[in-house]
Structure 1
Amino acid sequence: MNIKLLFFSFGLLLFWQLAAYGQTTNLKGFVKDSKSNQSIDGATIYFPTLKLGCISELDGLYKVDNIPFGKYKVVVKHIGYITLGKEIEISKAKENNIDFSLEMEVKELLGIEIKNDLDFNQTFIKITIKKSNIEENSVRDIGELLRTIPNIQAVRKGGANLDPVIRGFKFDQLNVQLDNGMTVEGGCPNRMDPTTSHVEAEDIESIEVLKGPFTLRYGPVMGGVVNLNTLNPRPFDKFEIHVKGNISYESNWNGTRQHFAVLGGNKKFFFTFTGNNSVYGDYEDGENNSVPSSFRKFGVTGKLGFAIKKNQIITASYSEFYARNISFPTLPMDERKDNTKLYSLDYKARNISKLIETINIKSYFTDVDHTMDNYERSSSDSMASVSHILATRLGYRAEIGLNAFTGHLFVGTDFYKINKDGDRVKNLIMQMPTSAGVVPIKVEDLWNKAVINDFGFFSEYTKRKGSWEYVGAVRIDYNSAFCDSINLKNTAGASILRVIADSTISSYLNFSFSLGATKMLSEKMSL
């Protein structure tokens, strides 16, 4: 097909839909628990006859655009709650406000349920795993939970720290982030410490998986986005404190887990504090064969929230996560030690004005101290190696959401700076001792003061008309990187190589764009 004709047809279709924009209005409000009055995020609000709907946000807020005037049946549902169906009237006001209260459904859950929540604000399907799914199952690792979703796998290298794969895309082809923007830079070149390894599964409130290349708002990636939303503090009408703890044991995996959570506060100040500890031995199969997969992981997280106004919240977060003696039988080394510290500061605002719908700003800093060795490998009989890497990542993400041109316009910018430095020390046990009577040692630079910078600007526009939705997105990134000379040195610090590798400098400008259209055929089917 002629590319000009394709773009002309798409533009003509978009113009026709914009021209057909008639007498419609918006509906917004909050979804809450009927007893506790706490907000419910991830609830589905859907109009069956109109094939319109949306998903409630973390604060329970929802908004459905372009609803014709009249009376309609709306369905509101969420896992663990009784589905609500009622008839409402959409008046000719510029905006209708209706809150929904859901009653908790008490029943026995027999197994994990993965619910494909359709996010009607985007042209791709967002799959969400809810807190109830995680709590009802024995989850040692987030990667194990992710690979229960169709078209998602995880690379297993040991008993923990599985690396997700979406439809064949993996590693840097995916954007795996914490709390809508934070990405942890690991230390291992073989990725034994991906972002998913730096968070405890029981601290997760929900996991969002966005498949496809249409997510340019979140980074220049083609495979998709995995967003891990951790437990966030929420305001209470009056001062309250809630404490929850659990202890579990798995005989097959020979492991124990402990976790606790404390949350509380009032309307102005609110907080959460969580801690976890996991100790697992080697896995034993049905034939009593032992598979090296032992590990220990523990850590704490504290968050403090402050409500500037009812629709504006600032949240500060600090986490420490530690890992010890994690076995990776498929890799040349095991993880001996990993110390990770995470810092973040978030500002969120909703419904600032008729034009400005949302403002989200996140700044963060991650610090990883990673050590690995080959002491459990047969190769250590001739050469014992220890690698030590320091990796930090400093970044921010800022986005504003606008009600513009009868649709939604998102404009924002993001930035990150990665610093990596580390070496590998090799003890050459089988070689002749030096004149001083010590084992010869070689030192290799893995990353020699490496620096990576990336600055991005992005914009996305979505427009919905009836059961059709259109989206267009653009993104520009400027990336620069630098690394000192990579060299081999002996115990005296002298170069082993006669030719020293030059330092490396690179920079490039990357432009990305996407166009898409979605036709909602039913509540659970789209084209």
Structure 2
Amino acid sequence: MIRIIQAIYDTKIWVLLVAILILPNVSFAQTRSLILLDKNTSQPIENVNYAYGDQQGISSEEGAIALDYTPGVPLVVSHIQFGKHRFTAEEVAWALEQGKFLLATHSHNLQPVTFLSIHPKTGEHEQLTFQVQDQLAHDAGHLLEQFSAISSIRKSGAYGFDPVLRGFKYDQINLVIDGTQCATAGCPNRMDPASSQVPLNMIVEAELMKGPHSLRYGNAFGGTINFKSAAPQFSDQLKFRGRVGSSFETNGEVSRNEALLGLSSKVADLSIFGSLATGKDYADGEGVEIPADFYRTNVGTRIGLKISETQQLSLMVSNNYAKDVDFPALPMDLRKDDTWLINLGHEANFYQSALSSWSTTAYATWVDHLMDNRDKELNPRMVNSNTAAKTNNLGGRTELRFDFDQDWLYAGADLRLENAEGTRQREMLMGPMAGQTINDNVWQDAQILKNGLFAEYHHQRAGYHLVVSGRLELNHAEAGDPDPDFASQYRKLSSDLLNPALSLGGTKTLTEQLAISLWMGTAQRSGGLAERYINYFPIGLDPYELIGNPELKAETNRQIDLIFDYKHGGTLLNLNLFSSFLSDFISSEIRDDLQPKMATAPGVRQFVNIDKARIVGFEMSWQQSLTNHFQHIAELAYSHGQNTTTDEALPEIPPMEFRYRLIGSFLQKRLRAELNLRHAFEQNRIAESYGETETPAFNLLDLKASYAVSKQFSLSAAVHNLFDEAYYEHLSRSVRSAESRPIYSPGRSFYLNLSYHFR
């Protein structure tokens, strides 16, 4: 009995000792909150997936994550957009003491606006974060001109600005929404370029990737422009949010209005958005009225569903509608343009293997376009004409990300099918054919199918970051309804081409202040729908009708980018030198043996390959904080294009341009004032064989101010072209008239914007 009592006593002692040892640890296994913040902006980072031991979750709207803390356990954070990062147990313990994690970019990431260091970039990137006034804009092409490397081809005074990047244009630029979706212009004259179809009130950022270096989002021949839409905003409780904005511009009576209403919960997020923009003729600096009527609406919805802590579904549907838009540089005006965009996506994160994330997207786009010469002043009026055209895009993309310690790999595949059909009707009013109607097969029911495989590998160590990118694309083109006259010009109307692309580059940190990057890339691009199948239609710089060429070779761009980046205190300096060597460059030449369909055309041009061409240039920027309240930014950009085969300048190359901004911030950053100076140099390097003319230099001065009345309400005002300068851009087309006067830009104009948001 004594032994039994002694055994029980000993057992109690051991239980007590074990309890004493365990209790302190139990006290540490309490739920602790940790806030994820962007070190550069101090803003919370929401929708970040995390794994901590056997715990998994997602950060809240306030950037908070809840951890049952256990010593020695690392933390893995992951986001579909930003990638994955692993924090050691020591880093977790330190962050819990502070109550927050400050996540910052690498000190020499070559971009003016950046995200987390776990969101690596390829090549030379620039990012533009949209403000409310940008989301009110009705044309994304015009907004892209905020990038110093981008200008726009203008055939209208207020609509359909077509971006040109370093002299690359049209299908040489890969323009996508969320890395995947795009729209093909229904209009042969590109009244409705892909940039005009972007639903700006759902876009939060535009990302510019210069050169053939980032190959994940498609054929990046001259560069990629990626518009990023707003991510779903899940919340722990049912929550409403919304915003409404309205602006008015005096010169042209331009009115822009947009609104968004959202509802979110733990597992679902719904956004409904819409916009309306209208404008009338404006006066240039000489008081001349420029036809610039337009009407545009956009409505749509985005739905996000969290099907688990690591998986999301998203659906976005958008409709863009434009009508009665003046295009004084073209033989017709836009009568209507009705576009639908649908995008379905799935995103997933993984923690137990090298596979980090998997994202898949499917999309469809339909464009219904109609233009006519109803409102054109023609004397005599010999013909009434209209063109009805339809294009559609179907496609998808899937991408995997793998993480290997400090290295990571993207790999995936994509598919894009483009189709175009359209007919021009010509009602003859005079001459021997008066009373007859002629139908012209404009697009010939042409289609192009692109199947691509891509991979991008990152190798990062202390002081350097190397990237290898590759892409292989099979391009199939055919005409489903060829015109007999067109078909008689060629031996074969279909083609199958294999287009490879490869890029190698990286960044080397030389000192705490200086980094240097070198990127070498080559990409091959087959001709687009217009370059292969347009059928006697005036779509170029001059009034010649153009005929496509299905026998075109793929053009090749071999490009080098050398980048210097210097950061010290409040000073940022960036210099990007580039040189692009082009072979089999797609251009056009006059065919004297072909007769145009319209009497107004002086002749016919045919798309052909040029043996050799080159584009070289640079972009330079200097940003400096002058005081706690003032900073200034200076930028200089230049591109030099040369047809080395004919020893003539390439057409439609923008001139050298200098920009200067002086920005002031007051009243605890509630009041912001800005002075913008822009000087465009004379462009005397022109392609006379394309009817190009020299453009004089000009200076512009804009003044802007914005004030946050409260957390919800803000207003801004501006004066554009303060000194009422009479000027026109080098890439502006000329008005179709006897004088052939270029489309001058607006003279002095006053702007007012009001916005209100709640959440």
Query: Over alpha carbons, which structure has the higher Rg?
Result: 2
Aligned length, in residue pairs: 442
Shift of the alpha carbon at 1:299? 1.8
Equivalent residue of 1:217, what SS?
Answer: coil
Q: Work out which of the residue numbers 141, 144, 148 in structure 1 matches 2:142.
A: 144
Counterpart of 1:471, as a letter, is V
2:189: which partner in 1?
190
Counterpart of 2:397, as a letter, is R
2:279: which partner in 1?
280
**In structure 1, C-alpha distance between the alignment counterparts of 2:113 and 2:311, rounded to whole Å:** 30
**In structure 2, C-alpha distance between the alignment counterparts of 1:154 and 1:37, rounded to whole Å:** 35
Residues 365 and 394 in structure 2, CA contact (< 8 A), matched pair in contact too? yes
Tell me the alpha carbon deviations over residues 313-366 of structure 1, each in whole angstroms, 9 at most, x when there is no partner: 100111111000111222222211101111110111234434111211110000
1:13-412 equivalences under 5 Å are 30-31=36-37, 38=46, 63=84, 99-100=101-102, 115-117=112-114, 121-132=120-131, 134-135=132-133, 139-158=137-156, 159-379=158-378, 381-404=381-404, 406-412=406-412
Q: 1:203 to 1:253 in 2, by over 3 A?
A: farther
Q: 1:508 to 1:59 in 2, by over 3 A?
A: closer
Q: 1:35 to 1:188 in 2, by over 3 A?
A: closer
Does residue 510 (structure 1) correspond to residue 507 (structure 2)? The answer is no
**In structure 2, C-alpha distance between the alignment counterparts of 1:378 and 1:139, rounded to whole Å:** 30
Q: Work out which of the residue numbers 471, 478, 487 in structure 1 matches 2:467.
A: 471
Residues 212 and 222 in structure 1, CA contact (< 8 A), matched pair in contact too? yes
Shift of the alpha carbon at 1:68? 11
Counterpart of 1:167, as a letter, is R
Shift of the alpha carbon at 1:233? 2.8
2:527: which partner in 1?
none
Residues 390 and 421 in structure 1, CA contact (< 8 A), matched pair in contact too? yes
Counterpart of 1:227, as a letter, is N
1:48: which partner in 2?
none
Equivalent residue of 1:235, what SS?
Answer: coil
Tell me the alpha carbon deviations over residues 114-152 of structure 1, each in whole angstroms, 9 at most, x when there is no partner: 9443887234132111133x5379744222221121212
Counterpart of 2:318, as a letter, is S
Counterpart of 2:440, as a letter, is E
Residues 241 and 262 in structure 2, CA contact (< 8 A), matched pair in contact too? yes
**In structure 2, C-alpha distance between the alignment counterparts of 1:460 and 1:59, rounded to whole Å:** 16
Residues 484 and 502 in structure 1, CA contact (< 8 A), matched pair in contact too? no
Equivalent residue of 2:146, what SS?
Answer: coil
Tell me the alpha carbon deviations over residues 391-416 of structure 1, each in whole angstroms, 9 at most, x when there is no partner: 11100010000013741111100001
**In structure 2, C-alpha distance between the alignment counterparts of 1:149 and 1:453, rounded to whole Å:** 31
**In structure 1, C-alpha distance between the alignment counterparts of 2:43 and 2:166, rounded to whole Å:** 41
1:447: which partner in 2?
443
1:414: which partner in 2?
414
Q: 1:150 to 1:412 in 2, by over 3 A?
A: same
**In structure 2, C-alpha distance between the alignment counterparts of 1:497 and 1:463, rounded to whole Å:** 51
Percent identity, aligned pairs only? 27
Equivalent residue of 2:179, what SS?
Answer: coil
Shift of the alpha carbon at 1:376? 3.3
**In structure 2, C-alpha distance between the alignment counterparts of 1:285 and 1:394, rounded to whole Å:** 41
Counterpart of 2:381, as a letter, is D
Q: 1:37 to 1:167 in 2, by over 3 A?
A: closer
2:705: which partner in 1?
none
Residues 486 and 503 in structure 1, CA contact (< 8 A), matched pair in contact too? no
Residues 79 and 349 in structure 2, CA contact (< 8 A), matched pair in contact too? no
Counterpart of 1:121, as a letter, is P
Q: 5+ residue gaps in structure 2? A: 1-33, 49-58, 60-76, 105-110, 518-759
Residues 236 and 264 in structure 1, CA contact (< 8 A), matched pair in contact too? no
Q: 1:525 to 1:131 in 2, by over 3 A?
A: farther
Q: 5+ residue gaps in structure 1? A: 1-27, 42-55, 72-86, 92-96, 103-113, 489-495
Residues 233 and 263 in structure 1, CA contact (< 8 A), matched pair in contact too? no
**In structure 2, C-alpha distance between the alignment counterparts of 1:497 and 1:483, rounded to whole Å:** 11
TM-score where L is the length of structure 2? 0.53
**In structure 1, C-alpha distance between the alignment counterparts of 2:364 and 2:500, rounded to whole Å:** 26
Shift of the alpha carbon at 1:184? 0.8
Counterpart of 1:362, as a letter, is T
Equivalent residue of 1:147, what SS?
Answer: helix
After superposing the two structures, state which structure 1 stretch, 397-406 or 237-246, moved more. Answer: 397-406
Shift of the alpha carbon at 1:154? 1.7
Equivalent residue of 1:381, what SS?
Answer: coil
Shift of the alpha carbon at 1:375? 2.6
Shift of the alpha carbon at 1:513? 1.3
Q: 1:505 to 1:498 in 2, by over 3 A?
A: closer
Shift of the alpha carbon at 1:88? 9.6
**In structure 1, C-alpha distance between the alignment counterparts of 2:415 and 2:486, rounded to whole Å:** 37
Counterpart of 1:257, as a letter, is R
**In structure 2, C-alpha distance between the alignment counterparts of 1:59 and 1:413, rounded to whole Å:** 17
**In structure 2, C-alpha distance between the alignment counterparts of 1:201 and 1:346, rounded to whole Å:** 19
Shift of the alpha carbon at 1:526? 3.8
TM-score where L is the length of structure 1? 0.75
Residues 84 and 356 in structure 2, CA contact (< 8 A), matched pair in contact too? no
Counterpart of 2:383, as a letter, is M
1:487: which partner in 2?
483
After superposing the two structures, state which structure 1 stretch, 469-478 or 56-65, moved more. Answer: 56-65
Residues 416 and 454 in structure 1, CA contact (< 8 A), matched pair in contact too? yes
Equivalent residue of 2:195, what SS?
Answer: helix
Does residue 423 (structure 1) correspond to residue 420 (structure 2)? The answer is no
Counterpart of 1:444, as a letter, is D
Tell me the alpha carbon deviations over residues 470-507 of structure 1, each in whole angstroms, 9 at most, x when there is no partner: 1111111111111035438xxxxxxx999698872111
